[in-house]
Amino acid sequence: MSQLSGRTALVTGSTSGIGLAIAEAFAAEGANVVLNGFGDAEEIEATRTRLETSHGVAASYSAADMTKPQEIADMVAQAEAEHGSVDILVNNAGIQHVAPVDEFPQDKWDAIIAINMSSAFHTTRAALPGMKTRSWGRIINVASAHGLIASPYKSAYVTAKHGVVGLTKTVALETAQQGITCNAICPGYVRTPLVEAQIPDTAKARGITEEEVVCDVLLAAQPTKKFVGLDELGSFAVFLASDAAASITGTALPMDGGWTAQ
């Protein structure tokens, strides 16, 4: 029996990409999961049902908007009511916009800060009381290599991810003696549907092949010249939730093919 059996993991932004891979990994280890995010209602329901039938766990879904603190609080309360607890919180929801600072749309800045950074505060604030009562909890923030270093034209994203790393450290210090850990995973480029969709457009715009886009544009800063695997991220999150990682807290852990080693 897995050590995560009977635990419940709430994963924001988990209807596709990294979040779904992490939710899947927790379900495979016997944890109940709460999905969250936007998407086609039928597809989301199919995913929820598949997780339940494939892994024999309970899976639920919340459509909470990560820009709305009250909806976030309600999502955590609903998860606790349905599953009995929120033991593992994975803050993964995120969006991106690329533009120079002096041309960056103010509404895009506000949305990225809200979804990529502030939502992690609101979920953590709501989930911590229950974790403290049970003297056990795992908070895993999906930051980015951009939580450690910067790239041009991504001011809001870089700011938000640096903020997530700061929040991670503070929460870890506050909960250090309460059986709760808080860590940030900092992935490099991951081949998500979002990234996949950019490849043909970039090839056309630059007049190069899709293979050249991957190697010379997307993975230019990633020494391995390989995308970080979704399964790798899922396994890493499961490890951070395990008893073996009980002494790992307050860290920003790169999983970036050597990007931040340069």
Alpha carbons 255 and 72: distance in angstroms, whole number: 28
Do 217 and 92 lie in one domain? The reply is no
Do 153 and 248 lie in one domain? The reply is yes
pLDDT per residue of the chain (262 residues) written in tens, 0 to 9: 578 999 999 999 999 999 999 999 999 999 999 999 999 999 999 999 999 999 999 999 999 999 999 999 999 999 999 999 999 999 999 999 999 999 999 999 999 999 999 999 999 999 999 999 999 999 999 999 999 999 999 999 999 999 999 999 999 999 999 999 999 999 999 998 878 888 998 899 999 999 999 999 999 999 999 999 999 999 999 999 999 999 999 999 999 999 999 9
CB-CB contact of 40 with 250 (8 Å):
no
Do 99 and 115 lie in one domain? The reply is yes
Do 127 and 201 lie in one domain? The reply is no
The CATH number assigned to the domain holding 77 equals 3.40.50.720
Alpha carbons 148 and 60: distance in angstroms, whole number: 33
pLDDT value of position 1 = 58
Residue 64 main-chain phi, psi, to 5 deg:
-50, 135
Do 155 and 145 lie in one domain? The reply is yes
CB-CB contact of 165 with 120 (8 Å):
no
Confirm whether 1 is domain-assigned. Answer: no
pLDDT value of position 194 = 76
What SS3 state is found at 78?
helix
pTM summary value: 0.96
Do 60 and 182 lie in one domain? The reply is yes
- Residue 131: enclosing H or E segment and its boundaries? helix 119-134
Residue 173 main-chain phi, psi, to 5 deg:
-70, -40
Residues 6+ apart with CB under 8 A from 249: 172, 175, 176, 180, 181, 182, 183
Do 75 and 185 lie in one domain? The reply is yes
Do 124 and 55 lie in one domain? The reply is yes
What are the Cα distances from residue 11, in Å, to 23, 106, 127, 170, 239?
Answer: 6, 28, 12, 21, 15
Alpha carbons 183 and 171: distance in angstroms, whole number: 9
Q: Is 111 left (phi over 0), alpha (psi -120 to 50) or beta?
A: alpha
For 212, the domain range is: 191-227
Confirm whether 222 is domain-assigned. Answer: yes
Residues classed as catalytic: 157
For residue range 141-191, list pLDDT tens digits in order.
Answer: 999 999 999 999 999 999 999 999 999 999 999 999 999 999 999 999 999
Place of tokens 């995913």: 47
